[in-house]
Structure 1
Amino acid sequence: MTDARLAWQAWRRLEPLHAMIYFTPEATERYKALGLDTWAGYFASRAAAFGPASPELVIATFYNFCPAMVRRALPAAWDVTTPEKVIEARLDAAREALRRAGIHGIPALAETTALVRRAAERAGEHPQGRPLFAAHAALPWPDDPLLELWHAQTLLREFRGDGHVAALLTEGVGGLDALILHGASGLTPTVFLKVSRGWPEEEWAAAEEGLRERGLLDGEELTEEGRTLRQRIEDRTDELALPAYAALSDDELARLAELTRIFGRAVVDAGLLNFSAWGRSSG
């Protein structure tokens, strides 16, 4: 069986390489040139693989964003640009940002890309129930070595994300509930989750009260039952991500987990994960 711990390490250590696209100014600038503000750029760029995605499709697949926030961005974004132009802008931004981080100069780039791509292509054999992943998997592979690695990690990220949504649904945890429980875990500041997901304070407070009634929260902290639920969801998410990494032998997976640390650290050290971008006005 695939080692779930090594698979998680391989994904988590490389995740900054994908995630930086949501924070780096290279992306914001290119979306602005297309007529998109910060939030329209985010929703349109991540959903563009679907084509001119409706707000309902994005609400369903992104899962934890306030619906009103999505509807302010879509479908209006498609009145000023096209999915094809947004995808091109996103790739161009990813290339420039990763070069700024020096990813192109890391000696292990080719070896790492080969391993990650094999995992991503194996994931492509399991698209059922994973709509966001499947849409991105249908896009052509980039020729640029930097973008090949970025695209591969993007596929693994969305593959895992779709599985996480399935785990949440199975446990009866809605998008807003998931945000609150995540904030209560202490892993991500609640203030960041509130700013970046757009839920009105009254809806957030009502959902918190509902979680208290379920015995999952005590005040703003997780109860033992809440911690158990979150761990069960995370464990199931890890399990659902394993089919991708079954493409690699144990030794290859261990090697990938070792290599990805270098790439993730380079992204972080270059300052590409600028979380303050989420606090900017979308006007």
Structure 2
Amino acid sequence: MTDVQLARQSWRRLEPVHGMIYFVPEATERYAALGLDSRAGYFASRSAAFGAASAELVIATFYNFHPALVRRAIPAAWQVTTPEKLLAARLEAAGAALRRAGIHEIDTLDETTELAARAAERACEHPQGRPLFAAHAALPWPSEPLLRLWHAQTLLREFRGDGHVAALLTEGVGPLDALVLHAATGHVPTVFLKLSRDWPEEEWAAAEERLRGRGLLGGDGLTEEGAALRQRIEDRTDELALPAYAALSDDELARLAELARAFGRAVVDNGLLAVSG
């Protein structure tokens, strides 16, 4: 049986290799060249794997953004550019940013890419119920090892993300509830979640009151019951991600977790996850 903690560790350590695409100027500049501001660029580039996605599809699959925020970007983005151009721009931006961080010079790139790609390819055997992942799984694999690593982690991230949405729905945690509970952990600044997801203050306050009524929030954050709920969701998300990592033996998974550390650290140390003003 695949080790859950090793699988989670592998994902967390390698996740910056994908996640940086939402923060780096290389992406913003390329989306701007196609006529999109940063927010429209985010929604359109991440959903471009669907084709010209509707706002409703993006709202459903991205899950926790205020619907009005999505509707300001989609479908207007498709009147300015095409999904094909955005996919190409996103991949180009990923390569440029990762090269800026020196990822291509890490001597274990080929080995790390091979292990991550095997996990991602195994995930592709399980697309059912994972729409955002399935759309990305249909994209062609890049040939360059650096970009193959980024694509592999993109697939693993969306595979896990779709499972996370399923876990939230199973526990009756809606989009805004999920954000408020996340903020209550103190792991991410509340102001960042509010600004990036664009939920109005009155709706955020109503969600807090609703969660207090469920016994999940207290005066200083999560109650014991709320913390247990959060842990249950994370544990279930970890379990739902396991089919991908079953492609690797325990020794290979441990090796991927070990190798991933250098790649994640390079992304962080070079400021690729810094939120620009």
TM bucket, shorter chain? over 0.9
Q: Deviations over 1:161-218 (max 9, x none)?
A: 0000000000000011000000101111111100110101111111111000111001
Residue 195 (structure 2) aligns with: 195
Residue 136 to residue 191, structure 1, CA distance change in 2 (3 Å): same
Q: CA deviation at 1:229?
A: 0.3
- Residue in 2 aligned with 1:164? 164
- Equivalence for 2:227: 227
Query: What is the CA distance between 1:145 and its match in structure 2?
Result: 1.2
Distance 1:32 1:219 in 2: 43
Q: What displacement does 1:275 show?
A: 1.9
Relative to the length of structure 2, the TM-score reads: 0.99
Find the residue that maps to 1:275 and give its secondary structure: coil
**Matched position secondary structure for 1:276:** coil
Residue type of the alignment partner of 1:197: R
RMSD: 0.7
Q: State the alpha-carbon separation in 2 of the partners of residues 152 and 220 from structure 1.
A: 39
Q: By how many angstroms is 1:220 displaced?
A: 5.2
Identity between Structure 1 and Structure 2 (%) = 80
d(CA) in 2 for partners of 1:133 and 1:206?
Answer: 32
- Superposed, 1:44-63 pairs within 5 Å as 44-63=44-63
Structure 1 runs (4+) deviating above 6 angstroms are none
**Within 1, Cα distance between the matches of 2:119 and 2:95?**
21
Is contact 1:122–1:243 with CA below 8 Å preserved after alignment?
Answer: yes
The answer as to 2:175 corresponding to 1:180 is no
Deviation, 1:50, is: 0.1
Structure 2 counterpart SS, 1:155:
helix
Q: How far apart are the structure 2 equivalents of 1:235 and 1:247? A: 20
Q: Does 1:3 align with 2:3?
A: yes
Q: TM-score, normalised on structure 1?
A: 0.97
Equivalent in the alignment of 2:66: 66
- AA partner of residue 82 (structure 1): T
AA aligned to 1:195 is L
**Whole-angstrom distance in 2 between the partners of 1:52 and 1:205:** 34
Q: CA–CA distance in 2 between the matches of 1:145 and 1:14?
A: 15
CA deviations 1:64-105 (Å, max 9, x no partner) are 000000000000000000000000000000000000000000
The 8 Å contact of residues 212 and 219 in structure 1, kept in 2 or not, is answered as no
Gaps of 5+ in 2: none
Q: 1:276 deviation in Å?
A: 3.4
The count of residues paired between Structure 1 and Structure 2 equals 277
The DSSP-based 3-state class of the residue aligned with 1:31 is helix
